[in-house]
Amino acid sequence: MPTVSVKRDLLFQALGRTYTDEEFDELCFEFGLELDEITSEKEIISKEQGNVKAQGASDVVLYKIDVPANRYDLLCLEGLVRGLQVFKERIKAPVYKRVMPNGEIQKLIVTEETGKVRPYAVAAVLRNIKFTKDRYDSFIELQEKLHQNICRKRALVAIGTHDLDTLSGPFTYTAKRPSDIKFKPLNKTKEHTACELMNIYKTDNHLKHYLHIIESKPLYPVIYDSNGVVLSMPPIINGDHSKITVNTKNVFIECTGTDFTKAKIVLDIIVTMFSEYCENQFTVEAVEVAFPNRKSSTFPELAYRREMVRADLINKRVGIRETPQNLAKLLTRMYLKSEVIGDGNQIEIEIPPTRADIIHACDIVEDAAIAYGYNNIQMALPKTYTIANQFPLNKLTELLRVDVAAAGFTEALTFALCSQEDIADKLGLDISATKAVHISNPKTAEFQVARTTLLPGLLKTIAANRKMPLPLKLFEISDIVVKDSSKDVGAKNYRHLCAVYYNKNPGFEIIHGLLDRVMQLLNVPPGEDKGGYVIKASEGPAFFPGRCAEVFARGLSVGKLGVLHPDVITRFELTMPCSSLEINIEPFL
């Protein structure tokens, strides 16, 4: 969930009234926002870098507000204020207009070469805009928020904003060999080739995260003006030449990307948010984009879509009984201008370009419910009549664990993920013999594989509890995972029961006694006939020679028990003899 940080006093000024922290928190809650933190720049720096560094930093009160991940229109002060003012019916939602310039329309030509690296581009112009320091900061911050969220860290879309008065159209969006791209990037003093820049930015804490997007491509995307001035090399960096300042009057905005839909949404959001400060409020100057297929379109789209929803559907889905007129009013408060039409039960809703999150009637239903107030909805119990059933494997597990505890063993709860070493090396096995599933992106060795046996977890539990009085008697009934090509995903869980006895003596008879008890509980008689169980001498690398037996029940091998090999005990940082039992309980279902 993105967090937007706004200056409290600036926010209240824009809202036209002040709130106590509690009142504002309440308003946020109702609207689906969360007032996450009340802080200041000084407090943030002091928390992260200490009091000394914080000296002289601003102590203007900041509100950090959590915004739902699909509400790109609330990612800046301007959007938040507009949303809340409309919600509180203090203003009407503005209508955003795309206008043609008096002179010639700006053009952006997209060449074929971009197809293999970053094929889409859209653009727009904010004409005669008036920035202040706060507005300018918000403009930059919104781009950063969009980059981090809908733009997926610039992978899907990257935004470039330029001082149009320093440039001369038409513009060309193309892709070139990195060695053929040379320009002075933002905030650098001299020109560099793209190859050099990629090296320089490897140590840049901010930009290094975006290099991978184009690094391995033969051609890098780049935008030029008609004089060959580089506007930007998306998605990495803008040129220094066209950089905007607080004094910039006319802003050229380009969005390039691999997702056309998202590029259009991002452009719409930026221009709808900041056209507020244009001489002609809420108007945006169009830019013509010519695609390699010889088709051209004008942007921003700023499309208003009309949806029709029946009032009774909203009432039915929310569980309320409001008149269509009231529902239309509720939706209008959510920035969705609505009116009742047709037979008096139809509501026509206008979806503005700021509400790209509205893609289905269910999204409209939610907004009606929010405006109505979730906590005003009458609760009711569904009349759904059902008979409950337990999942048989879990039912058996629940019964068994209670009786194993009653037999004097204590239940452990260990991790399903572990290191290769835990399930292989430490047990004297080769990893290839385990049939374990392997994780491709573990951050540490603790998450290399899913466990194929419960034993390592129990031995690690003992190792962490060596100060406890002996004997330690532990058990766990839980799932292990092995590769299995008969399953749709190629892997299968098995429910295992594992128990260990750790004391000054190995206590094989104790673990054997537990097996006998478990078989008694499962109603499996001793002996090889009539579906009974036996244990037969066996061996395994984890066990002390001559002290290992295999468990056969109903003719199937279900597991092993025995005294652990001293090497295994030592590898798990234990010092006492230990015996263990591990069986698959699924055959007893």
Partner 1 sequence: MADGPVAEQLLRRLEAADGGLDSAELAAQLGVEHQAVVGAVKSLQALGEVIEAELRSTKRWELTAEGEEMAREGSHEARVFQSVPAEGLAQSELMRLPSGKVGFSKAMSNKWIRVDKSAAEGPRVFRTVEGIDDEVQRRLQLVQGGQAEKLAEKERSELRKRKLLTEVTLKTYWVSKGKAFSTSISKQEAELSPDMISSGSWQNRSFKPYNFAARGVPPDSGHLHPLLKVRSQFRQIFLEMGFTEMPTDNFIESSFWNFDALFQPQQHPARDQHDTFFLRDPAEALQLPMDYVQRVKRTHSQGGYGSQGYKYSWKLDEAKKNLLRTHTTSASARALYRLAQKKPFTPAKYFSIDRVFRNETLDATHLAEFHQIEGVVADHGLNLGHLMGVLREFFTKLGITQLRFKPAYNPYTEPSMEVFSYHQGLKKWVEVGNSGLFRPEMLLPMGLPENVSVIAWGLSLERPTMIKYGINNIRELVGHKVNLQMVYDSPLCRLDVDTPRHTQEAA
Subset of 458-517 contacting partner 1 (CB under 8 A): 458, 460-461, 463-465, 468, 472-473, 475, 479, 481, 483, 485, 487-493, 495
To partner 1, the closest distance from the beta carbon of 122 in angstroms equals 14
**Is residue 387 near partner 1 by the rule CB under 8 A?**
yes
Q: Which is nearer to partner 1, 105 or 407 (CB)?
A: 407
**Which residue of 8, 10, 14, 32 would you call a contact of partner 1, by CB under 8 A?**
32
Torsion of CA 318, 320, 325, 330, to 10 degrees: -50
**Is residue 320 near partner 1 by the rule CB under 8 A?**
yes
To partner 1, the closest distance from the beta carbon of 239 in angstroms equals 28
**Is residue 404 near partner 1 by the rule CB under 8 A?**
yes
**Is residue 530 near partner 1 by the rule CB under 8 A?**
no
**Is residue 386 near partner 1 by the rule CB under 8 A?**
yes
For the sheet containing 543-553, what is the strand order?
410-411, 472-483, 491-502, 578-584, 556-564, 543-553, 533-537
Question: Could you write out the three-class secondary structure of 500-563?
Answer: EEECCCCCHHHHHHHHHHHHHHCCCCECCCCCCEEEEECCCCCEEEEEEEEEEECCEEEEEEEE
To partner 1, the closest distance from the beta carbon of 543 in angstroms equals 21
Footprint on residues 261-290 left by partner 1 (CB under 8 A)? 261-262
**Is residue 115 near partner 1 by the rule CB under 8 A?**
no
3-state secondary structure of 99: strand
The H or E element that residue 581 is part of is strand 578-584
**Is residue 432 near partner 1 by the rule CB under 8 A?**
no
To partner 1, the closest distance from the beta carbon of 365 in angstroms equals 6
**Is residue 14 near partner 1 by the rule CB under 8 A?**
no
For the sheet containing 34-40, what is the strand order?
3-7, 61-66, 34-40
> Residue 107 and residue 118: Cα distance in Å, rounded?
19
Residue of 339, 341, 332 whose CA lies nearest to 367: 332
**Chain-centroid distance, C-alpha 360:** 22
**Which residue of 216, 245, 385, 546 would you call a contact of partner 1, by CB under 8 A?**
385
Q: Which is nearer to partner 1, 399 or 534 (CB)?
A: 399
Question: Could you write out the three-class secondary structure of 344-400?
Answer: CCEEEEEECCCCCCCCCHHHHHHHHHHHHCHHHCCCCCCCCCCCCCCCHHHHHHHHH
To partner 1, the closest distance from the beta carbon of 459 in angstroms equals 8
**Is residue 443 near partner 1 by the rule CB under 8 A?**
yes
Q: Which is nearer to partner 1, 276 or 484 (CB)?
A: 484
**Is residue 131 near partner 1 by the rule CB under 8 A?**
no
Q: Which long-range contacts (CB under 8 A, 24 or more apart) does 29-35 make?
A: 30/370, 30/373, 31/83, 31/84, 31/87, 31/370, 32/68, 32/370, 33/65, 33/66, 33/67, 33/68, 33/74, 33/80, 34/1, 34/65, 34/66, 35/63, 35/64, 35/65
**Is residue 545 near partner 1 by the rule CB under 8 A?**
no
To partner 1, the closest distance from the beta carbon of 257 in angstroms equals 11
Footprint on residues 178-207 left by partner 1 (CB under 8 A)? none
**Is residue 375 near partner 1 by the rule CB under 8 A?**
yes
**Is residue 546 near partner 1 by the rule CB under 8 A?**
no
Backbone φ and ψ for 551, nearest 5 degrees, come out as -100, 125
Beta bridge partners of 526: 533
Q: Which is nearer to partner 1, 92 or 395 (CB)?
A: 395
**Is residue 416 near partner 1 by the rule CB under 8 A?**
yes
Footprint on residues 49-108 left by partner 1 (CB under 8 A)? 68-71
> Residue 537 and residue 86: Cα distance in Å, rounded?
79
| Tally of CB atoms within 10 A around 410 | 15
Read off the amino acid at residue 263. A
Six-digit token pair at 187?
A: 């905030």
**Is residue 405 near partner 1 by the rule CB under 8 A?**
yes
Six-digit token pair at 26?
A: 């309440």
To partner 1, the closest distance from the beta carbon of 305 in angstroms equals 8
3-state secondary structure of 30: helix
Footprint on residues 132-161 left by partner 1 (CB under 8 A)? 152, 155-156
To partner 1, the closest distance from the beta carbon of 215 in angstroms equals 17
**Is residue 341 near partner 1 by the rule CB under 8 A?**
no
Q: Which residue has the tokens 């824009």?
A: 14
Q: Which is nearer to partner 1, 213 or 548 (CB)?
A: 213
Q: How many residues bind partner 1 (CB under 8 A)?
A: 100
**Which residue of 64, 249, 317, 517 would you call a contact of partner 1, by CB under 8 A?**
317
What length is written for the chain?
A: 589
**CB-side exposure of 549: number of CA atoms within 13 Å?**
15
> Residue 296 and residue 301: Cα distance in Å, rounded?
13
Read off the amino acid at residue 99. V
| Strand 34-40, strand 61-66: pairing | antiparallel
Q: Which is nearer to partner 1, 123 or 514 (CB)?
A: 514
Q: Which is nearer to partner 1, 382 or 546 (CB)?
A: 382
**Which residue of 89, 134, 446, 528 would you call a contact of partner 1, by CB under 8 A?**
446
Q: Which is nearer to partner 1, 36 or 204 (CB)?
A: 36
**Is residue 122 near partner 1 by the rule CB under 8 A?**
no
To partner 1, the closest distance from the beta carbon of 475 in angstroms equals 8
Q: How far is CA 80 from CA 5, 74, 84, 437, in A?
A: 11, 5, 6, 47
The H or E element that residue 402 is part of is helix 392-406
To partner 1, the closest distance from the beta carbon of 566 in angstroms equals 21
**Which residue of 365, 510, 548, 569 would you call a contact of partner 1, by CB under 8 A?**
365
**Which residue of 300, 324, 457, 506 would you call a contact of partner 1, by CB under 8 A?**
457
To partner 1, the closest distance from the beta carbon of 446 in angstroms equals 8
Q: Which is nearer to partner 1, 483 or 571 (CB)?
A: 483
Which listed range, 230-238, 244-252, 355-363, 540-548, lies at the site for partner 1 (CB under 8 A)? 355-363
**Is residue 118 near partner 1 by the rule CB under 8 A?**
no
